[in-house]
Amino acid sequence: MKLLPTIHAPSDLKNIPDAQLPELCQEIREEILEVTSRNGGHLAPNLGVVELTVALHKVFSMPRDKIVWDVGHQSYVHKLLTGRLDRFPTLRQYGGLCGFPKRTESEYDCFGTGHSSTSISAALGIACARDLAGDDYNVIAVIGDGALTGGEAMEGLNNAGDLHKKLIVVLNDNEMSISKNVGALSSYLTELRTDPTYSRVKTEVEGFLKSLPSIGSSVARAVGRLKDSFKYFFVPGMLFEDFGFKYLGPVDGHDLPALMETFEKAKQLDEPVFIHVLTTKGKGYKPAEERPNAFHGTGPFDIATGKKFSNPQAPATYTKVFSDALVELGEKNRKVVAITAAMPEGTGLDVFGKYYPDRFFDVGIAEQHGVTMGAGLAANGYHPLVALYSTFAQRAFDQLLHDVAMQNLPFTLCLDRAGLVGDDGSTHHGAYDLSYLRLMPNMVMMVPGDENELRHMLKTSLEYNGPSVLRYPRGSGLGVPLDPEIHTLPIGKSKRLQEGSQIDLWAVGTMVDTARKTADLLEKQGLSVGVVNARFVKPLDREALEAASHTVKLLVTLEENSLAGGFGEGVLDALNRMGRLKECRVLNLGIPDLYVPHGKRELLLRDLKLDPEGAADTILQAWKEEL
């Protein structure tokens, strides 16, 4: 590397002659490839925005000018150009650089992201703050074509075009979300991209319109109308122009001079500008160009072959077991309809979609719409299953409450990636779903202790005539054998795994296995410890809880969810209402009141004392206080 190490701040980039920029881009690609091949990360999105990011930093002056990166998974190039090359090898590692923009990490990260479609709203807010303060810097939102399918992006565009602030929206159009992008807007962008007559006619029409004479009154109005109708039919990006933006493009997103020229032009304009940039996801690395979805977010891999390193002994993931069970159950139950919000592979619904294409919908990055669309299906005889990552389901809180739970509709919500997800960090941990769903009347909540139980819970949910949710973690299951038949479970009934006379551990989900191991450690200290797989967070097994409170002096709850409003608080409340707390103390273990950072899940759990050793230590302290 020759050029990249000379850049300690974006101002250094200004000293690099334009002729050397392609070489710099090559060095950036190599660095990103090297680090993501070891640490994993969002490779293809970043390879696609190398020239785009270099051009932005060359033309604008950060940190005075501000860039908001939508989702933020494509911000690695920006990190490399803003003084973080030295720390780049620590990307996504515990204590290292975050994989997303973070205000606490750098003054160049003006707005934190991770969830999609927020950039236009945030950038508009920044532009309003600028104007209120009488300042004049540039504000740029960089948003992907996938992120543009999210409702909040539309809300932002709608408001920005109306307020008419000086604001630049750069659309990075690579025709991909994680999978192939979907929706009418995506088709519209494809038309702009592919119809060569647009570009030719645009130039010709613009020339013709300019040549029309300036004349007065009614003739001028007629000419104005003529111009408008011509523009409507022939000028690309008319949709965005109608939203109140000046449309520039489409621009080749790997052509540095074209990008810089367009950004220079946008900089001069004192109005909302929409720049349509065309890029190739994975650009410059063949395996990623060929399979951009496989290299959207990847684990470690071999650069030479593009082959991912995986452990062949690892048990099947929860997602895979869920995916297979759904295909099996969906064959018999033709009322089941599956909905994903742009994550068919991530949630495992892609397989259902292959078997039953007419009962499968990818709605784009539109969690809110997906849930309410499901509610509509449920109100008319179908049983929708909406599979979302726990963290992204936060978007659909009101839709779940107002459209689903309040109407007591038959509806299955499957929350994948519940609990700590690891390397993606605080924006992606599924740490809150038990809390925000527990407050919804009618909602039945199940948490499988292993992948086999997940199958039974899925069937239970699909046959339940009301709203229910099951939440399960990222990654491998425990490797337990799968029962030949999938059956339903009695709703609201827990399962005792071990008897004990002094302490009872009540756990849900991943914490069931932890509770077993914790009990072993405590028993080595001479204690008699029971273990219960609570299975249901709602309704709770009140009968079994009351019985336990008569047996043991300390009842411990364990969950991979926020302590605020979660399973443990539910247990505490139930025992309090039964008047049992005088005789039986409750200790809640879970995620405390903080945002958990990124890093390997095991390290994070250790820090939170949610591994068996940490949990045993906390419980032992509490037991000693009890005596």
Ligand X SMILES: CC(=O)[C@@H](O)[C@H](O)COP(=O)(O)O
Q: How far apart are CB 115 and ligand X at their closest, in Å?
A: 7
Interface pick for Mg ion out of 99, 146, 161, 370 (rule CB under 5 A):
146
Segment 529 to 558, residues that bind ligand X, using CB under 6 A: none
Sheet of 467-471: strand order equals 360-362, 336-340, 383-389, 411-416, 467-471, 444-446, 536-538
Contact range with ligand X by CB under 6 A, out of 87-95, 130-138, 417-425, 613-621: 417-425
Please state, in angstroms and rounded to a whole number, the distance separating the CA atoms of residues 390 and 370. 14
**Phi/psi-derived region of residue 565, left when phi > 0, alpha when psi is between -120 and 50, beta in every other case:** left
Q: Which does 147 bind (CB under 5 to 8 A by kind): ligand TPP, Mg ion, ligand X, none?
A: ligand TPP
Q: Which of 367, 451, 453, 559 is catalytic?
A: 367
Task: Give the Cα separation of 232 and 240 in Å (integer).
Answer: 11
Considering the rule CB under 5 A, would residue 174 count as an interface residue with Mg ion?
yes
The span of 158-166, 188-196, 396-404, 416-424 binding ligand X (CB under 6 A) equals 416-424
Choose between 362 and 453: whose C-beta lies nearer to ligand TPP: 362
* Binding residues with ligand TPP: total (CB under 6 A): 25
> In 3D, which of 256, 257, 237 has the Cα closest to residue 248?
237
Instruction: Point out the catalytic residue in the list 66, 166, 395, 474.
Output: 395
Q: Which residues contact 261 (CB under 8 A, 6 or more apart)?
A: none
Residue of 66, 130, 165, 281 marked active site: 281
Q: Compute the distance between CA of residue 425 and CA of residue 27 in angstroms, rounded to an integer.
A: 27
Rg of the Cα trace of the chain?
A: 27
484 phi, psi to nearest 5 deg: -60, -35
- Residue pointed to by tokens 């975050």: 98
| 417 belongs to the binding site for ligand X (CB under 6 A) | yes
> Does residue 45 touch ligand TPP according to CB under 6 A?
yes
Among 66, 73, 438, 459, binds ligand X (CB under 6 A): 73
CA distance 332 to 345: 23
Which of 81, 176, 507, 604 binds Mg ion (CB under 5 A)? It is 176
Region binding ligand TPP by CB under 6 A among candidate stretches 71-79, 100-108, 479-487, 530-538: 71-79
For residues 118 and 262, which CB has a smaller minimum distance to ligand X in the complex? 118
Q: Does residue 346 touch ligand X according to CB under 6 A?
A: yes
Residue 625 has phi, psi (to 5 degrees) of -65, -30
Choose from Mg ion, ligand X, ligand TPP, none: what does 570 bind? Cβ within 5-8 Å by kind: none
The question of whether 438 is a catalytic residue gets the answer no
Determine, following the binding rule CB under 6 A, whether residue 424 of this chain makes contact with ligand X: yes
What does the block give as tokens for 266?
């946008």
Q: Is the peptide bond before 481 cis (omega within 30 degrees of 0)?
A: no
**Residue 29 is a catalytic residue:** no
CB of 623 vs ligand X, minimal distance in Å: 37
Annotated binding site: 73, 114-116, 145-147, 174, 285, 367
- Please give the single-letter amino acid code of residue 82: T
Among 31, 51, 70, 145, binds Mg ion (CB under 5 A): 145
Instruction: Report if residue 73 touches ligand TPP, rule: CB under 6 A.
Output: yes
| 395 touches ligand TPP (CB under 6 A) | yes
User: CA-CA distance, 527 to 525, in Å (whole number)?
Assistant: 6
Tokens at 197, concatenated? 């007559």
Does 144 interact with ligand X (rule: CB under 6 A)?
no
Assess whether 58 carries a catalytic annotation.
no
Single out the residue of 69, 392, 506, 623 in contact with ligand TPP (rule: CB under 6 A).
392
**Is residue 71 near ligand X by the rule CB under 6 A?**
yes
- Which of 56, 141, 147, 273 binds ligand TPP (CB under 6 A)? It is 147
Annotated binding site for Mg(2+): 145, 174
State yes or no: residue 115 binds ligand TPP (CB under 6 A).
Answer: yes
DSSP 245-305: PEEEEEEETT-HHHHHHHHHHHHH-SSEEEEEEE--TTTT-HHHHH-TTTTTSB--B-TTT
Query: At closest approach, how far in Å is the CB of 292 from Mg ion?
Result: 9
Contacts of ligand X in 474-513 (CB under 6 A): 474
Helices (H), 464-538: 510-524
Tokens, residue 278: 């065309």
Give the CA distances from residue 440 to residues 379, 404, 535, in Å, rounded to whole numbers and listed in that order: 19, 10, 18
- Is residue 149 at the binding interface for Mg ion, with CB under 5 A as the rule? no
Q: Choose among Mg ion, ligand X, ligand TPP, none what residue 293 binds, the Cβ cut-off being 5 to 8 Å by kind.
A: none
Binding positions for thiamine diphosphate are 73, 114-116, 146-147, 174, 285, 367
Query: What SS3 class is residue 41?
Result: strand
474 binds, among ligand X, ligand TPP, Mg ion, none (CB under 5 to 8 A by kind): ligand X
Based on CB atoms, which residue is closest to ligand TPP, 177 or 319?
177
Q: Does 438 bind ligand X (CB under 6 A)?
A: no
Is the CB of residue 444 less than 8 Å from the CB of residue 539? yes
Q: What is the DSSP string of 527-546?
A: --EEEEE--EEES--HHHHH
Say if CB 54 and CB 28 are below 8 A apart: yes
Q: Which amino acid is at 230?
A: F
Among residues 82 and 172, whose Cβ is nearest to ligand TPP?
172
Told to check if 611 binds ligand X by CB under 6 A, we report: no
Whose tokens are 């405390």? That residue is: 592
Name the maximum alpha-carbon separation found in the chain. 98
**Which listed option, Mg ion, ligand X, ligand TPP, none, makes contact with residue 417 (CB within 5 to 8 Å by class)?**
ligand X
Helix and strand totals (H; E) in the chain: 26, 17
Tell me which residues touch Mg ion (CB under 5 A): 144-146, 174, 176
Tell me which residues touch ligand X (CB under 6 A): 42, 71, 73, 178, 296-297, 346, 417, 421, 424, 474
Tell me which residues touch ligand TPP (CB under 6 A): 45, 48, 71, 73-74, 115-116, 144-147, 172, 174, 176-178, 281, 296, 341-343, 365, 367, 392, 395
Which residues are the active-site residues? 281, 367, 395
